[in-house]
Amino acid sequence: MENDVIEIRDEKELPREKVLALYQACRWSAADKPDELLRALAGSHSVISAWKGEELLGLANAISDGALVVYYPHLLVSPSHQQSGIGRRIMQKMNERYGSLHQQVLLAVDDAYGFYQRLGFRDTAGVRPMWVYHGSDM
């Protein structure tokens, strides 16, 4: 089983080139702001990553007040390893830490909506997500 060799790490300082390669592989525009991206991860409340040996296969970060609310800005799995349980394992680790909080919040792209539904996330009935976005991939 692939997951037998996948290691989940809980550390905020990650190798720059491996992070950028992952974001580029997923075509996420945050890769165009490498300094900010690395600072964002280092400044997060948590960063959970998935590794096969020294290959970075996926990561997620969390921003939290540590008491009531957590927001999950990023979750991405390398296209070559999607659909093999890595995203679920990363979010399970987040859930161990934040699952008891009053609110866990995220913005799901349409393609990831079903994935988050499987993990228990629901539509914000009566509440509209809103943002000001300066990325280039939406």
Please give the Cα distance from 61 to 73 (Å, whole number): 6
Binding residues for ligand COA, per CB under 6 A?
26, 75-77, 82-88, 108-109, 111-112, 114-115, 118
Nearer to ligand COA, 69 or 82 (CB): 82
In the complex, minimum distance from the CB of residue 87 to ligand COA, in angstroms, rounded to a whole number? 2
Quote the distance between the C-alpha of residue 88 and its chain's center: 11
Residue nearest to ligand COA as judged by C-beta position: 87
Nearer to ligand COA, 53 or 114 (CB): 114
Show the tokens assigned to 95.
């859930």
Nearer to ligand COA, 64 or 78 (CB): 78
How open is the CA angle 61-63-65, to the nearest 5 degrees? Answer: 150
In the complex, minimum distance from the CB of residue 48 to ligand COA, in angstroms, rounded to a whole number? 12
In the complex, minimum distance from the CB of residue 76 to ligand COA, in angstroms, rounded to a whole number? 4
In the complex, minimum distance from the CB of residue 93 to ligand COA, in angstroms, rounded to a whole number? 12
Nearer to ligand COA, 8 or 112 (CB): 112
Q: For strand 103-105 and strand 69-71, is the pairing parallel, antiparallel, or unpaired?
A: parallel
Q: DSSP states of 18-70 as a string? A: HHHHHHHHTT-GGGGSHHHHHHHHHTSSEEEEEEETTEEEEEEEEEE-SSSEE
